[in-house]
């Protein structure tokens, strides 16, 4: 089936025209990223799953009119907005990690499969032992959302913290946490900001991981009937615990 890709949805980010990087000018291409990847496995995954790489916007003080940021741990003098047209959606977190380690600037990364969008971001710190590398913090990703999702309106520059580039990038990450909390139908009474939303999301993920682990044990042919009963009881209790975090569907 022929997939038609479009980047028109990015217009809603509403950056000044000086931030634009034309496709002809972009110095970041699929081939250049592949050359910088460390292992054959990484290059194979990137080549198989990624169709094209576009660096659409460069946010600097002289393009977006927002101050740079620097402290003892990090220097945010430029943010890049990059889009990947992808064939497969299964390795997006790994691909985000690979690309963000190659590019020494904070990246707002959009995955586009032709029908849906996923957004990834991760703060980074300066590697004190090797300034040619960076240290990635937690990579956060949205659930997949449609090209006309209302969530994109929350990413418009006019709605974001423009104190400095670090504050701006932090606000993008905050929006991702809040969006994910809404998508997971977390009870709004349990969080009042992005940090508490992230904490609840982490708790739910921990519960889901434990449930999957217990299900794997049940499938193990060496698990006795009595053990299976106890495991099923534990799974039921975990599901009840998870429900306490979610909005009632009644």
% of the chain with per-residue pLDDT over 90: 56
Mean pLDDT of the chain: 88
Q: What pTM did the predictor assign?
A: 0.81
Least confident window among 33-37, 47-51, 110-114, 192-196: 192-196
Cα–chain-centroid distance for residue 73? 22
pLDDT at 226: 86
pLDDT at 97 over 60: yes
DSSP string, 214-244: HHHHHH-TT--HHHHHHHHHHHHHHHHHHHT
User: For residues 184 and 231, what is the distance between their CA atoms, to the nearest angstrom?
Assistant: 25
Q: pLDDT for 132-158, tens place per residue?
A: 678 999 999 998 999 999 999 999 999
User: For residues 176 and 72, what is the distance between their CA atoms, to the nearest angstrom?
Assistant: 26
pLDDT at 66: 97
Sketch the domain layout of the chain as residue ranges. 8-183, 188-243
- Classify each residue of 74-104 as buried b or exposed e, where b means 16 or more C-beta atoms within 10 Å of its C-beta: bbbebbbbbbbbbeeeebbeebbbbbbbbbb
The helix (H) or strand (E) run that includes residue 172 is: helix 165-183
pLDDT at 75: 93
pLDDT at 249: 47
50 to 30, 175, 211, 228: CA distances (angstroms): 8, 26, 32, 42
**pLDDT band, very low/low/confident/very high, at 234 (cuts 50, 70, 90):** confident
What tokens does 158 get? 């006019």
pLDDT at 23 over 90: no
User: For residues 160 and 167, what is the distance between their CA atoms, to the nearest angstrom?
Assistant: 9
% of the chain with per-residue pLDDT over 70: 90
| Contact yes or no for 120/111 (Cβ under 8 A) | yes
pLDDT at 190: 62
User: For residues 54 and 111, what is the distance between their CA atoms, to the nearest angstrom?
Assistant: 11
162 φψ region: left (φ > 0), alpha (ψ -120 to 50), beta (else): alpha
| CA dihedral sign of residues 178, 186, 138, 107 | negative
Residue indicated by tokens 């982490």? 202
| Contact yes or no for 69/75 (Cβ under 8 A) | yes
């Amino acid at each position: 089936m022929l997939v038609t890709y479009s980047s028109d949805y990015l217009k809603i980010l509403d950056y000044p025209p000086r931030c634009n990087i034309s496709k002809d000018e972009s110095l970041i291409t699929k081939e250049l990223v592949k050359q910088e990847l460390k292992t054959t496995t990484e290059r194979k995954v990137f080549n198989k799953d990624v169709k094209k790489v576009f660096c659409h916007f460069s946010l600097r003080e002289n393009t977006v009119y927002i101050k740079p940021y620097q402290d003892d741990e990090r220097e945010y003098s430029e943010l890049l907005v990059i889009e990947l047209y992808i064939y497969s959606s299964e390795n997006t977190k790994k691909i985000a990690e690979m690309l963000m380690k190659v590019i020494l600037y904070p990246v707002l990364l959009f995955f586009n499969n032709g029908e849906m969008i996923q957004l990834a971001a991760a703060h980074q710190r300066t590697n004190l032992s090797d300034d040619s590398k960076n240290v990635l913090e937690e990579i956060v990703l949205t659930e997949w959302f449609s090209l006309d999702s209302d969530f994109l309106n929350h990413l418009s520059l006019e709605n974001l913290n423009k104190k400095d580039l670090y504050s701006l990038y932090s606000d993008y990450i905050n929006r991702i946490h809040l969006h994910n909390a809404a998508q997971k139908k977390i009870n709004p009474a349990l969080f009042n900001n992005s940090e508490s939303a992230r904490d609840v999301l982490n708790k739910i993920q921990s519960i889901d991981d434990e449930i999957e682990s217990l299900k794997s044990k049940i499938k193990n042919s060496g698990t006795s009937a009595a053990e299976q009963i106890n495991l099923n009881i534990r799974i039921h209790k975990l599901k009840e615990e998870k429900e306490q975090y979610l909005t009632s569907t009644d």
